[in-house]
Structure 1
Amino acid sequence: MNFLIISKYFYPQNRIASFRINAFAKYIRNAGHSVTVIAEGDHDMDTEWNGCKVSYVKNKIITESYLRDKIKRRKRWTVRRITASLLNRIFLDYNLFWGFRVFKKANKLFKENRYDVVLSSYMPISPHLAALNLQLAGHKFFWIADMRDEMSKHPYFSKKYKSAYIAIYERLFLKNADLVLSVSKPILDDFRKMHSSSNYLEVRNGYDYEEVYDVNFQSKFTMGYIGQFYDKIKPDNWFHAFSELISEGRIPKDSIIKIIGNNMKIKIPDNIINNVFEIESVPHDEAIRISTTEVDVLVMIHPLGRKGVYSGKIFDYLATNKPILALYDPDDVVGDLLRETRAGFTVKESDIEGIKSMILKCYSIWKNREVLPRDWNKIKQCRRFNQTKILLDYLSEHLPNQ
């Protein structure tokens, strides 16, 4: 089959969203199919990556690399950022003009090639709009709408006018797509409530490196968090619990917290200011190396409210053989996954005493040089290769003549 993938995020961007699309492209190509990707780039450019044709289309309003640089340098008010913010307020997507350029590029490619499958990935909405416009232009293909996140149910669209506005797009996409993907069953169930006649398939995120079975222990008890803090995802309660344990003498005073890749300003309690180390963003391979060799516990944080949110980092964490401490809803998908794989512990992000108890459990594992009895067979199902195979098996069954 001939695949066209449309996504804002793709190699070399250092983001979970990019890693998902990278895996789709790589493993669909490795399965013997032809793959073309249209993605955002710093320049308009046609190239190749892992046997896939890639067309980078520049976002002339603001590129992802420009935005991340300004966030890192905490330069909030630039002309481009103000313009993007205004477009977001009006259209809920500052990428719409980029999306129009993507449609023009895709339309040109369709005139040169026949694509059997178009896979577009949200968010933002622009890739789906490009795919929808290709349909309206008369091109025939099997459309896969990849929904990494919720749409109208997403907290970002919590204001009623935003939720109602984005729901118009949501219904259009669900109605016209031949297959809707998302990363978890709860998110897919919400989409089903909005449009029950669509076809839905759960394809989770995953990890894309060899499992690490050997375990090393740091000389000082070390907890690590890899990634950004943003909105309500903050380390405040984790720091509070850690701070109290230090003050109470229940964990060593030289215990360490490493934060890797966060650009948001964080508040650190005075008594642990010398225990917390902030490290700048690193390439994904280096983040994996740090997680397997420089920490004893891997932490992830999400407050109560949203259902079905795994966070892509959990899958990278799974294959490290280090205990995972998830400050999450124990009754949601992360809690279920950690229980099934025996890879860690879950506690409510708001439960300070519960967090302290779980930190102590992780400290005991470090102190006694223990290794959790992971279920590696279940963990290996989370390899990105195996998750992409779920999609390819579906297509093989439903598009047998392609």
Structure 2
Amino acid sequence: MARRVLVLSYYFPPSGGPGVQRVLKFVKYLPSFDWTPVVVSVEEGAYPARDASLGADIPGDTPVHRTSSWDPYHLYARLTGRSDEEAVVQGSLEGREQTWKERIARWVRANIVLPDARVGWVPFAIGQGRRLLAEQSVDAILTTGPPHSTHLAGAALQWMTGTPWMADFRDPWTDINYYQELPHTAAARRIDAALERMVLRRADAVATVSPSWQALLRAKMGTEPRTPIHVIQNGFDTEDVGPADVTVNDEAFTITHVGSLYASRNPTALWRAVQQLREAGDVPDLRIRLVGMVDSNVEGALHDHGLADITELVSYVPHPEAVEHMQQAGLLLLSIESFPADTGMLTGKIYEYLATGRPIVGVGPADGDAARLLEQTDGGRLYGRQDVQGLAGYIRSQYEAWANGEPASGATPDALQPYRRKAETGALAEVLNGLER
């Protein structure tokens, strides 16, 4: 008989963007491993993007309970004269101009609404979760963050009911990529760290996406960690993405980036490498396509390197269209920003890139988990953030193969078997199987 798991996730369709993919695929495939998910999410969330098409992945018999939430973004929108959608900020703020109102709101975010701006959903999530736990037999609780305030709801429900609880960290908490940009006071940092430590110690199991972040979280638990920390990587869904009939663009060799390109992710070494290749006349038919949010600082860098005329900017598109852009690329661009825990960054995007069978050129920590994944799967190469010559050589070789009518390929399906979303959900189910009251 299938067991039930109560899944608490702020991001869930119609939320779009990368934050929703991991939990959505867990919900989709858990029934294949005899776990029935019961989802609690927010009714009208402060989402950075919306993609109603993702709702097709929710099994028809999966109950999804939506609650109200107190959301400071609505107040922030009124304060700054923006729409609710414009007020939602996710990820790095590096390089963005701020008004005095925005600076005040940022200070409040860092020091008052701890641990994050979605903490106003926690009381509603606890209330709905407690009602469901009282009404039906539930064998486990799963919370996923960011927002990491969701884990506070999991901790409260575990304490109230004794139901085993697993906390899933898609990103670190006090080591997330933009944490150093927030104007925390010393007291706020201590409170945030204490909340993080409490979650890590109280949870019956913890999961994260990479070996480096597994070690990072384990170190925060002290010399005798009692909570097991599992690596359950992100992945790709074979029903969404894979080598397809879509052919590589034969009119131009396109370097394509899909997703948000913040100022902190601006791959200036790659722009410089392309500039050098163009000036040498080595890549006459090269184009750049950026799909998704592009920071104005990135646009400025492209202009400064003489690349604006060969760059196409495509605003946020539904997931199926994003996949088509990946499949048509001559080379897929991965950029990992610099932050203290960057060696563990393994985004969901890298797996979808790999699944298309197109080669990847990465810019980031050359000794990190992403670089090792590309090497292990033969899916591409990742270069250090200052390695202009290495990037230029790799782009040139890829371009020449394309120009000769034989565009290079990336990872093979066999190499990617362990990274299918269904396989990763199977790993999650094994952890849930081991939880005991």
**Are the structure 2 counterparts of residues 84 and 101 from structure 1 closer, same or farther at C-alpha, using a change threshold of 3 Å?**
farther
- Aligned residue for 1:52, secondary structure, equals coil
**Are the structure 2 counterparts of residues 181 and 272 from structure 1 closer, same or farther at C-alpha, using a change threshold of 3 Å?**
same
Which residue of structure 2 aligns with residue 330 of structure 1? Answer: 366
Q: 376-385 vs 62-71, which deviates more?
A: 62-71
Q: How does 1:246-261 map to 2 (within 5 A)?
A: 246-252=278-284, 254-261=285-292
Alpha-carbon separation, structure 2, partners of 1:221 and 1:81: 42
Alpha-carbon separation, structure 2, partners of 1:109 and 1:335: 43
- Structure 1 length normalisation: TM-score? 0.89
Q: How does 1:248-287 map to 2 (within 5 A)?
A: 248-252=280-284, 254-265=285-296, 266=298, 267=300, 268-269=302-303, 271-287=306-322
Alpha-carbon separation, structure 2, partners of 1:340 and 1:210: 20
Alpha-carbon separation, structure 1, partners of 2:378 and 2:158: 45
Which residue of structure 2 aligns with residue 205 of structure 1? Answer: 234
**Are the structure 2 counterparts of residues 285 and 78 from structure 1 closer, same or farther at C-alpha, using a change threshold of 3 Å?**
farther
Say which structure, 1 or 2, has more relative contact order (CA 8 Å, 6+ apart): 2
Offset of 1:263 from its aligned partner? 4.2
Alpha-carbon separation, structure 1, partners of 2:141 and 2:100: 36
Return the letter of the residue paired with 1:329. P
Q: Tell me if structure 2 keeps the 8 A contact 1:303–1:350.
A: no
Which residue of structure 2 aligns with residue 59 of structure 1? Answer: 69
Alpha-carbon separation, structure 1, partners of 2:243 and 2:208: 27
Return the letter of the residue paired with 1:19. Q
- Aligned residue for 2:356, secondary structure, equals coil
Q: Tell me if structure 2 keeps the 8 A contact 1:229–1:235.
A: no
Return the letter of the residue paired with 1:386. A
Which residue of structure 2 aligns with residue 235 of structure 1? Answer: 267
Matched, 1:8 2:17: no
Alpha-carbon separation, structure 2, partners of 1:145 and 1:376: 30
Runs ≥4 in structure 1, deviation > 4 angstroms? 62-68, 74-85
Q: Which residue of 174, 184, 201 corresponds with 2:210?
A: 184
Q: How does 1:14-163 map to 2 (within 5 A)?
A: 14-42=16-44, 49-50=58-59, 51-62=61-72, 68-70=85-87, 86-90=108-112, 91-137=114-160, 139-158=161-180, 161=186, 163=189
Which residue of structure 2 aligns with residue 221 of structure 1? Answer: 253
Offset of 1:67 from its aligned partner? 5.0
Which residue of structure 2 aligns with residue 299 of structure 1? Answer: 333
Q: Deviations over 1:44-89 (max 9, x none)?
A: xxx99412111222433256996544469x9977999975762343
Q: Tell me if structure 2 keeps the 8 A contact 1:20–1:205.
A: yes
- Aligned residue for 1:9, secondary structure, equals coil
Q: Tell me if structure 1 keeps the 8 A contact 2:357–2:412.
A: no
Alpha-carbon separation, structure 1, partners of 2:97 and 2:264: 21
Matched, 1:356 2:392: yes
Q: Deviations over 1:248-297 (max 9, x none)?
A: 21211x4210000114212122522110110100011110011113x211
Q: Tell me if structure 2 keeps the 8 A contact 1:61–1:84.
A: no
Which residue of structure 2 aligns with residue 379 of structure 1? Answer: 416
Return the letter of the residue paired with 2:28. K
- Aligned residue for 1:381, secondary structure, equals helix
Return the letter of the residue paired with 2:208. S
Alpha-carbon separation, structure 1, partners of 2:259 and 2:68: 26
Q: 128-137 vs 48-57, which deviates more?
A: 48-57
Q: 180-189 vs 77-86, which deviates more?
A: 77-86
Q: Which residue of 200, 220, 236 corresponds with 1:194?
A: 220
Q: Which residue of 163, 166, 190 corresponds with 1:164?
A: 190
Which residue of structure 2 aligns with residue 370 of structure 1? Answer: 407
- Aligned residue for 1:149, secondary structure, equals coil
Offset of 1:130 from its aligned partner? 0.5
Q: Deviations over 1:281-340 (max 9, x none)?
A: 0011110011113x2110011145422101221011011111110112222111111111
- Aligned residue for 2:313, secondary structure, equals strand
**Are the structure 2 counterparts of residues 375 and 160 from structure 1 closer, same or farther at C-alpha, using a change threshold of 3 Å?**
farther
Q: Tell me if structure 2 keeps the 8 A contact 1:62–1:81.
A: no
- Aligned residue for 2:320, secondary structure, equals helix
Alpha-carbon separation, structure 1, partners of 2:360 and 2:185: 36
Offset of 1:387 from its aligned partner? 0.5
Return the letter of the residue paired with 1:203. I
Q: Tell me if structure 2 keeps the 8 A contact 1:40–1:59.
A: yes
Return the letter of the residue paired with 2:372. D
Q: 161-170 vs 201-210, which deviates more?
A: 161-170
- Give the unaligned 5+ runs of structure 1: none
- Give the unaligned 5+ runs of structure 2: 46-54, 78-82, 90-95
Q: Deviations over 1:209-246 (max 9, x none)?
A: 25215553431111100011225211333222212221
- Give me the CA root mean square deviation: 2.9
- Aligned residue for 2:178, secondary structure, equals helix
Alpha-carbon separation, structure 2, partners of 1:340 and 1:92: 36
- Aligned residue for 1:232, secondary structure, equals helix
Alpha-carbon separation, structure 1, partners of 2:185 and 2:272: 34
Offset of 1:247 from its aligned partner? 1.7
